């Protein structure tokens, strides 16, 4: 398979995104997977190409997820009982936190997306943004900032490898 397609597919995978695709693209060699699942060969590509591909794909992924989520929710809330639950829970929460979202929403979402930890990323960032009522344009800004932060952090860790961990662990 084409290495760029491999990077794109890993970046699109929920729970993996660029947190997995950047190390996979940069690192060479073979990694033995646990429980006899075989092995995984890294691509050994130049870090700047891997960074660019994975960050761009991840940014577009967040935008598409938010957009599709909005369309899906508007379709599903037409079902009467789902619409009532949605109004009761989501709309009430959104109205209570509206001022905070308007003031801190983009920064909070950007940091949430940008911290490369399990459970954070553009899928959960888009869902959370939608549920708290962050507007689409503001989400796009937060998404771009957050993905770039995550991409830089993951790339620095992978490229510096031992040297970075040596600063924290003696």
% of the chain residues with pLDDT over 90: 43
pLDDT at 2: 93
- Region of poorest pLDDT, from 28-32, 53-57, 86-90, 123-127: 28-32
Mean pLDDT of 74-88: 85
**51 contacts 157 by C-beta, under 8 angstroms:** no
pLDDT tens, 95-105?
666 666 667 77
> In the chain, which ranges are continuous DSSP H helix?
3-12, 17-26, 47-76, 80-86, 92-114, 122-132, 136-160, 162-168
Select the more confidently predicted residue: 68 or 41: 68
Three-state DSSP class for residue 39? strand
pLDDT tens, 141-162?
999 999 999 999 999 988 887 5
- Region of poorest pLDDT, from 49-53, 91-95, 158-162: 91-95
H/E element, 31: strand 30-32
- Cα Rg for the chain, rounded, in angstroms? 19
Across 51-55, 90-94, 106-110, 112-116, the highest mean pLDDT is recorded for 51-55
pLDDT at 170: 42
- Using CA atoms, how far residue 125 sits from 58, 70, 79, 85, 170, in Å, is 12, 14, 26, 22, 35
């Amino acid at each position: 398979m084409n290495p760029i397609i491999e990077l794109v597919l890993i970046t699109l995978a929920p729970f993996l995104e660029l947190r997995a695709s950047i190390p996979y693209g940069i690192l060479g060699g073979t990694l033995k997977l646990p429980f006899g699942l075989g092995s995984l060969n890294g691509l050994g590509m130049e870090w700047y190409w891997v960074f660019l591909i994975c960050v761009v794909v991840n940014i577009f992924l967040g935008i598409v997820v938010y957009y599709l989520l909005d369309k899906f929710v508007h379709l599903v809330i037409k079902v009467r009982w789902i619409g009532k639950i949605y109004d009761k829970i989501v709309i009430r929460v959104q109205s209570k936190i509206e001022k905070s979202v308007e003031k801190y929403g983009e920064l909070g979402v950007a940091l949430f997306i940008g911290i490369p930890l399990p459970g954070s990323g553009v899928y959960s960032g888009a869902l959370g943004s939608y549920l708290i009522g962050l507007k689409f344009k503001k989400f796009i800004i937060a998404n771009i900032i957050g993905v770039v932060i995550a991409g830089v952090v993951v790339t620095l860790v992978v490229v510096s490898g031992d040297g970075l961990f040596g600063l924290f662990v003696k």
